[in-house]
Amino acid sequence: MKVILTIIILVIFFSLTSVGANLLLDQDQDGVPDQDELNIYFTNVSDKDTKKDGYSDFIELTFGFSPHNPEPIKLEDNDQDNDGLSDRMELNFHTNIIDPDTDQDGFQDGEEIANSYDPLNKDKVKLNKRIEINIGAQELNYFLKDVRMGTTIISSGINNSTPKGIFEITNKHPKAWSPYGLWMPYWNGLNDGKIGIHELPVWPSGYTEGEDHLGTPVSHGCVRVGHEAAAFLYDWAPIGPEVFIY
């Protein structure tokens, strides 16, 4: 009995230590650890060059190329599993680059991200949305979870009139009226509506201010964006997301 127990303990001990050692293993010595080849990139752990094009998996990944597609194609331009999400975005969201439905809930990874659902959770869980506005760069970036989904050029307030800090989208209106006598289409109000993110303003005559203002602070404090970006952000952002202005 004692011998059997000792054997069981020894077996458990060695299986645990070998799991520990496996975490650091790099069988094919290509610089990409086995655990990453197996769980992240789905490349060949016993062949330095999974797709046999003369470049090792490590070199391809380091320079941002797909280690699977036979063509020399960047991770952001390749969708290895055809699920509507590029390999680059899959790596950012920690989804599976060779399985279209990582959480096996019947919805493809790309579809889940497009609708802001968590592709790693079978339950219908929404991912957090956040907007960041960089006054110095005159740039707005929007994030899903911690992944930057896009960027657009802005025009903020002249003479530093756009307040810095953390705000929330507190109200929305398809076409808000400004006390300065202008329409502000696609209005996302921040700070109780004292300022907002909106499309280039439209004068009562119907004249829309030109996109050439974008990139230069000219507003009374609001954050102006171009037509396409304004329409997109209005639909994308509900009431609630954090807006960090710095």
Residue ranges that bind Ca ion, judged by CB under 5 A:
26, 28, 30, 32, 79, 81, 83, 85, 95-96, 101, 103, 105, 107, 109
Report, in Å, the least distance between residue 245 CB and Ca ion. 33
β-bridge pairing 147-155 and 182-190: unpaired
DSSP 133: E
- Nearest-CB residue to Ca ion? 109
Strands (E), the chain: 129-134, 139-144, 147-155, 165-178, 182-190, 195-199, 223-225, 242-245
- 3-state percent helix, strand, coil for the chain, nearest multiple of 5: 30, 25, 45
Report, in Å, the least distance between residue 62 CB and Ca ion. 13
Q: Give the nearer residue to Ca ion in terms of CB position, either 107 or 244.
A: 107
Please say whether the beta carbons of 40 and 96 come within 8 A: no
Report, in Å, the least distance between residue 81 CB and Ca ion. 5
Q: Give the nearer residue to Ca ion in terms of CB position, either 20 or 106.
A: 106
Q: Give the nearer residue to Ca ion in terms of CB position, either 26 or 139.
A: 26
Report, in Å, the least distance between residue 18 CB and Ca ion. 17
Q: Give the nearer residue to Ca ion in terms of CB position, either 107 or 183.
A: 107
The span from the CA of 64 to the CA of 18, in Å, is 32
